């Protein structure tokens, strides 16, 4: 029995053993958890999963629905993974939930991710929800979320992240992501190369369904206004790459509800802010941005967004990465964009040591994030970008919370 939420979350985060998807489904069946009662939308893809989940939730909330969401990783606290109407599960509720299910988690040897899924289902089944939107972890076919039968399957894009485990080719990655396609369930995907669409189309055909692909939206100005499917949408001060995620969310809503929710699409997307994704802060008039870009496709989109957003202002980057990422290439991409880059270590067992990253990439070494922040504050003309990993962004976000002069830009 845990007394404090921190020790309860530490219990979850310390769990490493994994079962197979088939065994995990057997376990949930043995427990008797009727998770299929929930009306669910399943979201997979390389980048933009969390943002697309958030966009969908905002639209459905604007339409008056109560919406549960399951996403990962978290930015501020473990509770962030399980939300209702964009509000994380409360500490006391989460603590009671973990204590209730701790014996089951230990009995079956569930991993952290499996435990989170179990807790999510248990919590959502106890609440009066209209819809639940679930983000897949890695891949799709063998992901532990892939035991559901949703009302829609969504694939944001196919990229090079996790190529070692899902590849070796992008077509192989597409087959893994396409593993969430279910019999007769409509599929919505972002636009991607023809070869990858062919893979998904064939998988959908075998499941007696079709894939609906997004079209390029018409962007009119920044902060972002764009025209899509006959709707004029304003996103506000977010990354340009969010247009693709919002367009996909629009396609899902139109596919399921036709134009009945048009007003909700417009108002919902206006409030669709997602932490750690080109998140804007200010310090005495200076701009700083946090973004969890952690693969080459996301980094390309981020660099484009930064250049569009800051114009001719010089950009300093504090960069850190996990060991299993293409960290040298991404550091080089930031340098080639004309940014001043310094690498930094952060407290995560999967993080690459900054000294190793500096040696391998030829990028200057920074001993601590706080040092970089202090140096940046001395140059009022320079924009700061912190990027490389959502785990790193989570670490930095907590530092910002302790600095009362750094504020989220409204």
Q: Which residues pair with 133 in a beta bridge?
A: 41, 69
Q: What angle do CA 9, 13, 15 make, to 5 degrees?
A: 125
pLDDT of residue 330: 93
CB 262, CB 301: distance < 8 Å: no
pLDDT of residue 354: 84
pLDDT of residue 257: 96
Q: Domains of the chain (ranges plus CATH)?
A: 5-270 (3.40.1190.10), 279-408 (3.90.190.20)
In order of 45, 342, 380, the CA distances from 384 in angstroms are: 28, 11, 10
pLDDT of residue 284: 82
pLDDT of residue 346: 87
Question: What's the per-residue H, E or C state across 218-255?
Answer: EEEECCEEEEECCEEEEEECCCCCHHHHHHHHHHHHHH
pLDDT of residue 349: 81
Cα–Cα distance measured from residue 46 to residue 48, given in angstroms and rounded to the nearest whole number: 7
Secondary structure E strands in 262-304: 279-283, 286-291
Residue-wise pLDDT for 114-141, tens only, equals 999 999 999 999 999 999 999 999 999 9
Q: What angle do CA 47, 19, 48 make, to 5 degrees?
A: 10
Q: What is the dihedral of CA 57, 52, 204, 201, to 10 degrees?
A: 150
Among residues 155, 150, 74, the alpha carbon closest in space to that of 112 is found at: 74
Cα–Cα distance measured from residue 206 to residue 219, given in angstroms and rounded to the nearest whole number: 36
Cα–Cα distance measured from residue 206 to residue 382, given in angstroms and rounded to the nearest whole number: 53
Strands 211-213 and 131-135, how do they pair? Answer: unpaired
Cα–Cα distance measured from residue 239 to residue 308, given in angstroms and rounded to the nearest whole number: 9
Q: What is the dihedral of CA 89, 95, 97, 101, to 10 degrees?
A: 140
This prediction's pTM: 0.93
Cα–Cα distance measured from residue 388 to residue 396, given in angstroms and rounded to the nearest whole number: 11
Cα–Cα distance measured from residue 244 to residue 304, given in angstroms and rounded to the nearest whole number: 14
Tell me which DSSP letter residue 353 carries: P
- For the chain, the residue count is 410
Cα–Cα distance measured from residue 321 to residue 358, given in angstroms and rounded to the nearest whole number: 11
The backbone region for 66, taken as left when phi is positive above 0, alpha when psi lies in -120 to 50, beta otherwise, is: beta
Among residues 320, 373, 374, 370, the alpha carbon closest in space to that of 343 is found at: 320
Show the low-confidence residues of the chain (pLDDT under 50): none
Both ends of the chain: CA-CA distance in Å?
41
Residues near 206 by beta carbon (within 8 Å), at least 6 away in sequence: none
Neighbours of 224 (CB within 10 A): 22
């Amino acid at each position: 029995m845990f007394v404090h939420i921190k020790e309860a979350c530490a219990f979850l985060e310390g769990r490493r053993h994994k079962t197979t998807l088939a065994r995990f489904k057997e376990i949930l069946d043995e427990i008797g958890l009727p998770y299929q009662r929930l009306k669910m939308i399943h979201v997979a893809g390389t980048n933009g999963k969390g943002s697309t989940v958030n966009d969908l939730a905002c639209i459905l909330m604007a339409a008056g629905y109560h919406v549960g969401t399951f996403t990962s990783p978290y930015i501020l606290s473990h509770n962030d993974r399980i939300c209702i109407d964009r509000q994380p599960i409360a500490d006391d509720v989460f603590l009671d939930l973990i204590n209730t299910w701790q014996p089951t988690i230990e009995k079956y040897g569930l991993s952290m991710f499996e435990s989170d899924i179990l807790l999510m289902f248990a919590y959502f089944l106890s609440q009066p929800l209209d819809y639940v939107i679930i983000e897949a972890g890695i891949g799709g076919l063998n992901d532990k979320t892939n035991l559901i039968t949703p009302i829609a399957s969504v694939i944001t894009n196919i990229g090079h992240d996790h190529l070692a485990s899902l590849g070796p080719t992008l077509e192989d990655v597409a087959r893994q992501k396409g593993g969430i396609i279910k019999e007769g369930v409509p599929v919505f995907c972002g636009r991607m190369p023809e070869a990858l669409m062919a893979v998904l189309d064939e998988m959908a055909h075998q499941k007696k369904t079709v894939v609906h692909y997004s079209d390029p939206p018409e962007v009119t100005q920044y902060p972002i206004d764009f025209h899509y499917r006959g709707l004029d949408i304003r996103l506000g001060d977010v990354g340009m790459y969010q247009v693709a995620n919002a367009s996909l969310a629009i396609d899902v809503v139109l596919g399921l509800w036709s134009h009945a929710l048009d007003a909700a699409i417009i108002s919902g997307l206006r409030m669709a802010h997602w932490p750690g994704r080109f998140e804007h802060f200010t310090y005495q008039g200076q701009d700083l941005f946090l973004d969890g870009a952690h693969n080459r496709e996301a980094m390309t989109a981020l660099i484009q967004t930064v250049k569009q957003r800051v114009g001719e202002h010089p950009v300093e980057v504090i960069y850190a990465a996990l060991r299993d990422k293409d960290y040298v290439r991404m550091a080089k991409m930031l340098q080639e964009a004309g940014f001043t880059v310094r690498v930094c270590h952060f407290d995560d067992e999967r993080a690459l040591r900054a000294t190793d990253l500096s040696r391998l990439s030829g990028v200057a070494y920074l001993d601590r994030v706080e040092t970089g922040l202090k140096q940046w504050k001395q140059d009022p003309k320079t924009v700061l970008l912190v990027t490389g990993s959502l785990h790193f962004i989570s670490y930095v976000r907590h530092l910002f919370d302790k600095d009362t002069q750094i504020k989220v830009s409204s």
